Chain A
Amino acid sequence: MIHLLRVPIIRREEPAPGHVELWLQSPELATSTPGQFADVVTEGMLRRPISFSRIDRANHQVAMLLQVVGDGTRWLAAQRPGTMLDVMGPLGNGFLPPAPARDWCLVGGGVGIPPLYAAVQAWGTHTASRPTVILGARDQQLLLLVDEFQALGCVVEITTDNGTRGRRGTVEAPLCDWLDSHPDGQVYACGPTPMLASVARLTQGRTGIFLALEQRMGCGIGACLACVIPGYGVSGQAGYLRVCTDGPVFRSEELIFE
């Protein structure tokens, strides 16, 4: 059920330069599944789609961790506790829970990391083993939620483009290692499209690989057909899929990466 809501900001943190996490009080949004998102009114003509970094059903709270990239996110990042936000949600399809008997690994790049944290919060203790988390960023300062993942008992592997923390390079190398040692493992990934393309390539032939995508979005509810990406529809024919309602989480075999 999609709601049009006015919800208060109850807490605001700055976890990394240019990043802000806002906690919202909302029983409706707290019913979200990890990977789902909400569409928030800012100053511009379009709402801003932002996924949840935390979903706390018990306390009726969610959090959104956003990166300031333009005017809309700049406005949102400047809002303080007490402000009421105009929010539509929950929207889209979230991740499916991992199979209890399978190992799972989460791969996050930059501001794609937050929805993975919500997934580990929801399911991290229900699986056979605590998940491995591979986090990548351009620089160590831009790594998000590392301590939080560790606090949940995850094995955290870090890569940075400039080598300031963890392995230098992309998430590919540690992901290859993990896939080699976990032939039946599942992967949940969110991040820049080139990263998702390599996750899809490296996991080809496996099942239960979930990728969360981002795209410029219009209506958020499937009407305007703005936020499309190439993929295979229900008929199996190649075409465009809507990130807002067919996704934002897709099975890797649904997508076509050029």
Chain B
Amino acid sequence: MKLSVNLPRGLVLKNPIVAASGTFGFGPEYKDLVNIGDLGGVSVKGVSPEPWPGNPPPRVWETTGGLLNSIGLQNHGVEAFCAHDLPFLRDTGTAVIVNIIGHTVEEYQRVAERLAKEPGVSALEVNISCPNIKQGGMSFGHDPDQAYLVTQAVRKGSDLPMMVKLSPNVPSPAVIAEAVQSAGADMISAINTLVGLAIDKERRRPALGGTTGGLSGPAIKPIALRVVYEVAQRVKIPIIGMGGITTASDVVEFLMAGAHAVMVGTVTFQYPRRMQEIVAQLPDELLRWGFSSVQEAVGAALPSKRGGLFDALT
């Protein structure tokens, strides 16, 4: 079965399963456990122009069906990434998606310009939706005008295929999606984590060092599907869907909601090889629901594709 996915500006994923940013390190960390070349792509942890220290610990807290994190985008900066991590990744045979972050519009553009010069980068993922930093990050993703400006600046800085990662912590992610599409984004990735809080009863204070954190894992899957479904009806550019995926069955749901590919994250911590297992199981799962390729399943649940009797009546 054809699992490959063709995306804008010549970006090709050998299959629609991509490691989600923040859950797969900067590339080499999982090399002894995962055959990285079997994955459709890897989106690395957020990379900024200069090193960022991240938030005080504790940085993770388990919740029912989910995981709350407040890492705070710790990274060693784009120069160290290009020198130490990228050379490993570009030889793995997977699509290398670099998640980029900044405190200002100019910083986003600087990272994009730097990465545009570096061989082996397949695409950029512009992170305007991280809930764990005080300046920049999610604030850009909450306002359509700000989101437009960041996207435009990254577009100016690089011709690489570019996706913009949306926040679910806004009344209408589709409005942000429209803004970044008009600013030149090639794709949307959605969703980032939801802002949450946990309480440490023993210490009588919020559990995470950063007070609030971003919720991921199966608990957020229905919200992610809703966002993908809404955004798919408002923009023409492809969507990489994510949020709580743990099985091939989940992947088919995201494809049917309108995603062209998916990212898998939190489950990797528990089962490092789950992404490879999903790739292996996906053909059977697609066939089970009557699809003979990934492409056929994309958007199958959208109103425009359904066209059944019920839709005709309503």
Contacts of A222 in B (CB 8 A): 25, 29
Contacts of B65 in A (CB 8 A): 45
A146 to B53 Cα, complex, angstroms: 41
Contacts of A218 in B (CB 8 A): 59-60, 67, 69, 269
Number of B interface residues in the complex (CB < 8 A): 32
Binds B, one of A56-64, A147-155, A223-231: A223-231
CB–CB B23/A215 < 8 A: no
Residue of B nearest to A219 (CB): B269
A47 an interface residue at 8 Å Cβ cutoff? yes
B90 an interface residue at 8 Å Cβ cutoff? no
Task: Tell me whether A226 and B32 are in contact in the complex, defined as CB-CB below 8 angstroms, given that A4-B272, A41-B270, A218-B269 are known contacts.
Answer: no
What's the nearest-Cβ distance from chain A to residue B56, in Å?
Answer: 8
Task: Tell me whether A226 and B270 are in contact in the complex, defined as CB-CB below 8 angstroms, given that A46-B67, A221-B29 are known contacts.
Answer: no
CB–CB B57/A46 < 8 A: no
Number of A-B contacts (CB under 8 A): 91
B45 an interface residue at 8 Å Cβ cutoff? yes
Contacts of A45 in B (CB 8 A): 62-63, 65-67, 217, 266, 269-270
Contacts of A1 in B (CB 8 A): 32
B87 an interface residue at 8 Å Cβ cutoff? no
A41 to B33 Cα, complex, angstroms: 16
Contacts of A44 in B (CB 8 A): 62
What's the nearest-Cβ distance from chain A to residue B195, in Å?
Answer: 18
CB–CB A229/B57 < 8 A: yes
A136 to B71 Cα, complex, angstroms: 33
Chain B at the A interface: mostly helix, strand, loop or mixed? loop
Contacts of A256 in B (CB 8 A): none
A118 to B196 Cα, complex, angstroms: 40
A 217-244 contacts with B by CB, 8 A: 217-229, 239-240
Residue of A nearest to B266 (CB): A45
A229 to B29 Cα, complex, angstroms: 19
Contacts of B33 in A (CB 8 A): 2, 4, 88, 221
Contacts of B30 in A (CB 8 A): 221, 223
Contact of B59 among A41, A88, A221, A227 (CB under 8 A): A227
What's the nearest-Cβ distance from chain A to residue B218, in Å?
Answer: 8
B37 an interface residue at 8 Å Cβ cutoff? no
Contacts of A88 in B (CB 8 A): 33, 272
What's the nearest-Cβ distance from chain A to residue B2, in Å?
Answer: 30
B103 an interface residue at 8 Å Cβ cutoff? no
CB–CB A239/B269 < 8 A: no
What's the nearest-Cβ distance from chain B to residue A39, in Å?
Answer: 9
B157 an interface residue at 8 Å Cβ cutoff? no
CB–CB B272/A227 < 8 A: no
What's the nearest-Cβ distance from chain B to residue A244, in Å?
Answer: 10
CB–CB A226/B53 < 8 A: no
A229 to B61 Cα, complex, angstroms: 16
Most buried by A among B23, B25, B272: B272
CB–CB A216/B67 < 8 A: no
Chain A 19-42 interface 0/1 with B at a Cβ cutoff of 8 Å (1 = within): 000000000000000000000010
A72 an interface residue at 8 Å Cβ cutoff? yes
Contacts of B59 in A (CB 8 A): 216, 218, 225-228
Residue of B nearest to A47 (CB): B270
A240 to B270 Cα, complex, angstroms: 23
B54 an interface residue at 8 Å Cβ cutoff? yes
B 50-95 contacts with A by CB, 8 A: 53-54, 57-63, 65-67, 69, 71, 74
B140 an interface residue at 8 Å Cβ cutoff? no
Contacts of A228 in B (CB 8 A): 54, 57, 59, 74
B268 an interface residue at 8 Å Cβ cutoff? yes
CB–CB B66/A225 < 8 A: no
A 40-97 contacts with B by CB, 8 A: 41, 44-47, 72, 88
Contact of B273 among A4, A41, A47, A216 (CB under 8 A): A4
Residue of A nearest to B73 (CB): A225
Task: Tell me whether A215 and B269 are in contact in the complex, defined as CB-CB below 8 angstroms, given that A46-B67, A224-B22 are known contacts.
Answer: no
A219 to B32 Cα, complex, angstroms: 14
Most buried by B among A221, A225, A227: A225
Contacts of A224 in B (CB 8 A): 22-23, 25, 60, 69, 71, 269
A 124-176 contacts with B by CB, 8 A: none
Most buried by A among B54, B269, B272: B269
Contacts of B268 in A (CB 8 A): 219
Residue of A nearest to B59 (CB): A226
What's the nearest-Cβ distance from chain A to residue B73, in Å?
Answer: 9
Contacts of B69 in A (CB 8 A): 218, 224, 226
A224 to B61 Cα, complex, angstroms: 13
CB–CB A225/B217 < 8 A: no
B24 an interface residue at 8 Å Cβ cutoff? yes
Would you mind naming 10 contact pairs between A and B with Cβ atoms under 8 Å apart? A44-B62, A45-B63, A46-B67, A219-B272, A221-B272, A223-B25, A228-B57, A228-B59, A239-B53, A240-B53
5 additional A-B pairs beyond A221-B29, A224-B22, beta carbons within 8 Å, are A217-B60, A219-B23, A219-B268, A221-B33, A225-B45
Which residues of A line the B interface, CB within 8 A?
1-2, 4, 41, 44-47, 72, 88, 215-229, 239-240
The 3 closest A-B pairs by CB, nearest first: A223-B25, A223-B29, A226-B60
